[in-house]
Amino acid sequence: MGYSFTDPRLLTRALTRLAYAGEQGFGPAAHMDALATLGDAVIDVVVIQSLVAVGEHDKGLITTKKTNCVNMTVLRRLAEQMSVEDYVYWGKGEEAQAVWRSGRVLAECMEALIGAVYLDGGIGAASQVLETIGLRCEI
């Protein structure tokens, strides 16, 4: 990702699935779900900000371009390129079923990572990570 966490607990949380946290008896703040929701919003902001910065001002076109640029397929591909599934703490059932083969699961993991980067380093860090991992939008 090209990012070093100041608070490595955020990285661990971003890689911890709810099922694993439950199996381990971890508390409610130990899994990735909230970070995935945050990361989804951060990715949208970064993409929209970049579209506006290059001169796009039509609301409909911004929305269309953002939707084409950031979707489950794109986020899954980025996660696969980084082999994110090798670093995630999966629940026993998830691991047995290899749930990461589902597009949405790896996309959520990518969102959680970006959410963690945002909390650790802010919007600039999140933007830099997205650029580093290869998120490209057709402008």
The full set of domain ranges for the chain reads 8-133
Residue 87: other Cβ atoms inside 10 A: 12
Q: Spell out the residues 6+ positions from residue 92 whose beta carbon is closer than 8 angstroms to its own.
A: 19, 23
Query: For the chain, how long is the longest CA-to-CA vector?
Result: 49
Q: Is 138 a catalytic residue?
A: no
CATH number of 8-133: 1.10.1520.10
Partners of residue 16 on adjacent β-strands: 89
| Contact (CB, 8 A) for 56 and 70 | no
Task: List per-residue pLDDT tens for the chain, 139 residues long.
Answer: 999 999 999 999 999 999 999 999 998 899 999 999 999 999 999 999 999 999 999 999 999 999 988 989 999 999 999 999 999 999 999 999 989 887 799 999 999 999 999 999 999 999 999 999 988 775 4
Q: Which of 33, 108, 111, 120 is catalytic?
A: 111
Question: Of 111, 112, 137, 130, whose CA–CA distance to 3 is shortest?
Answer: 130
pTM: predicted TM-score of the whole model, two decimal places: 0.93
Q: Which of 33, 40, 94, 108 is catalytic?
A: 40
Q: Is 111 a catalytic residue?
A: yes
